[in-house]
């Protein structure tokens, strides 16, 4: 038994944000029926291909545990089939450009009329307002959600992060909205609309930066390293390099091998509560009692030099040894792990966070498993479907078409 067993999802998603949401629902046990344009499919099937004519990793890593049906709701017969699918499903998810589902002839009012229990969930780039017509990709969301203006170094350009916080982040928000609406439906018997804007999702993740924007009105941000370095603040929350976003100073330091290994670094937090341990570890026990170093406040304008001294020690050992030595002393730190190291880490395989999947056309590949672990709803990651692999089976068992009707649907180009 899986948590969402019995929930059927009409999956009209493409690219990353929507598919990441429906993949989560599938991992929790929902029957996710992915609708794709006949002959074409989700555009990512063919993007960034590493093997000719084989579904890309972009697609396979976002569409596990789903069924694929080709269907064009813009054709006469396709529209009838789509209507029946709306009747039979509990949830419909889409992340097309603004208005695309309406243009298919299925605005929310009509969906509600066909199936009042339907939960209709959408991702768009922006919520209602001046930009609600715009198409949006990951980096546009990162820039318009405030993340890019606060990422990077003070003397450099705004920077986007490689973590897909706009796409997979918003997908996760939508999944939460959907299961919450399903829960409310248990009481109300009614469906509802669930809407997530990528800009909103990024702003939610930038909460501490809006905090700092307001703190600026009351004086400089003491914990930012630019304060210690005497660089004045402007009107907006600045880029903070590798400064920690919280109240404990932290930064990235070089470790043994940094000259040749681009990831021989560690994130080191000089947490006030373990300051004595830090001093002992780096061979500066005298700093524990020194009035110029003993308390967090007096250390603030010296953090650059303090981290340089800590780095003299971290450069003598490798990044894993830094962690081995710091952990027993309760000093929070984290080695900079490369994607290669993550792919090879056995404990991540053991927990299902990284999974090896077999695919009939590409062979085995690595994917990211479910980051949310439920003790009563284990996840088996099943390879992504081939284009239209389940069309006939869904037309027969969900839509209720006969063999002749299915043949006619193929003939007409509806599926
Ligand atoms: N049969 C027939 N037509 C189909 C179809 C099907 N099964 N599935 C989709 N289509 C059509 C739609 O009807 C739409 O056509 P019209 O615009 O002519 O009505 C078109 O395909 C899809 O349009 P789109 O605007 O979604 O596609 P795009 O490639 O131009 O834009 C994207 C892509 C992602 C920018 C846009 O979908 C978007 O802004 N989505 C919302 C925000 C979002 O999720 N962004 C993140 C994407 S992940 O990086």
* 161/10 Cα distance (integer angstroms): 31
Note the pLDDT of residue 228. Answer: 87
The answer to whether 379 and 352 are in contact (CB under 8 A) is yes
> How do residues 209-266 score in pLDDT, each as one tens digit?
999 999 999 999 998 999 988 999 999 999 999 998 888 999 999 999 999 999 999 9
CA-nearest residue, atom 15 of ligand 1: 100
Residue 37: CB within 6 Å of ligand 1?
A: yes
Mean pLDDT, the chain, as a whole number? 97
Determine the atom of ligand 1 nearest the C-alpha atom of 164: 49
CA-nearest residue, atom 8 of ligand 1: 37
pTM of the model: 0.96
The conformational region for residue 185 under phi > 0 = left, psi -120 to 50 = alpha, else beta, is alpha
Residue 127: CB within 6 Å of ligand 1?
A: no
> How do residues 221-235 score in pLDDT, each as one tens digit?
998 999 988 999 999
> How do residues 183-210 score in pLDDT, each as one tens digit?
999 999 999 999 999 999 999 999 999 9
> How do residues 172-186 score in pLDDT, each as one tens digit?
999 999 999 999 999
Query: Residue 335 pLDDT more than 90?
Result: yes
CA-nearest residue, atom 4 of ligand 1: 37
CA-nearest residue, atom 11 of ligand 1: 100
Residue 63: CB within 6 Å of ligand 1?
A: no
> How do residues 338-357 score in pLDDT, each as one tens digit?
999 999 999 999 999 999 99
CA distances from 303 to 201, 277, 312, 348 (A): 33, 16, 14, 34
301 is catalytic: no
Residue 103: CB within 6 Å of ligand 1?
A: yes
**Catalytic residue among 55, 167, 212, 243, which?**
167
Q: What are phi and psi of 210, to 5 degrees?
A: -70, -35
What distance in angstroms lies between residue 97's CA and the mean position of ligand 1's atoms? 5
């Amino acid at each position: 038994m899986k948590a969402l067993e019995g929930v059927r999802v009409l999956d009209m998603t493409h690219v990353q944000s929507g598919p990441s949401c429906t993949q989560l629902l599938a991992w929790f046990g929902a029957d996710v029926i992915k609708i794709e344009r006949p002959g074409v499919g989700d555009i990512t099937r063919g993007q960034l291909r590493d093997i000719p004519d084989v579904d890309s990793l972009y697609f396979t890593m976002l569409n596990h545990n789903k069924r694929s049906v080709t269907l064009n709701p813009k054709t006469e017969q396709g529209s009838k089939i789509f209507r029946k699918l709306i009747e039979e499903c509990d949830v419909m998810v889409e992340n097309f450009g603004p208005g695309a589902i309406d243009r298919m002839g299925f605005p929310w009012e009509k969906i509600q009329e066909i199936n009042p229990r339907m939960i209709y969930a959408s991702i768009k780039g922006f919520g209602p307002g001046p930009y609600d017509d715009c198409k949006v990709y990951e980096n546009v969301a990162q820039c318009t959600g405030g993340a890019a203006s606060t990422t990077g170094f003070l003397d450099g350009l705004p920077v986007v992060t490689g973590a897909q916080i706009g796409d997979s982040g918003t997908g996760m928000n939508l999944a939460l909205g959907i299961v919450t609406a399903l829960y409310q439906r248990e009481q109300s018997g009614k469906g509802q609309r669930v809407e997530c804007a990528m800009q909103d999702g990024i702003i939610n993740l930038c909460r501490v930066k809006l905090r700092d924007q307001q703190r600026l009105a009351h004086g400089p941000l003491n914990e930012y390293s630019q304060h210690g370095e005497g660089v004045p603040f402007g009107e907006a929350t600045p880029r903070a390099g590798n400064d920690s976003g919280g109240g404990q100073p932290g930064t990235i330091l070089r470790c043994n091998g940094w000259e040749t290994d681009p990831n021989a670094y560690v994130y080191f937090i000089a947490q006030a509560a373990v300051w004595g341990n830090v001093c002992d570890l780096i061979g500066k026990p005298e700093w524990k009692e020194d009035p110029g170093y003993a308390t967090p406040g007096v250390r603030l304008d010296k953090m650059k030099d303090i981290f340089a001294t800590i780095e003299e020690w971290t450069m003598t050992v490798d990044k894993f040894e830094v962690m081995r030595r710091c952990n027993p002393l309760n000093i929070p730190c984290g080695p900079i792990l490369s994607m290669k190291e993550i792919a090879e880490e056995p404990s991540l395989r053991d927990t299902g966070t990284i999974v090896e999947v077999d695919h009939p056309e590409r062979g085995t590949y690595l994917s990211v498993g479910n980051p949310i672990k439920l003790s009563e709803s284990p996840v088996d990651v099943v390879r992504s479907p081939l284009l239209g692999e389940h069309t006939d089976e869904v037309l027969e068992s969900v839509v209720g078409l006969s063999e002749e009707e299915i043949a006619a649907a193929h003939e007409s180009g509806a599926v």
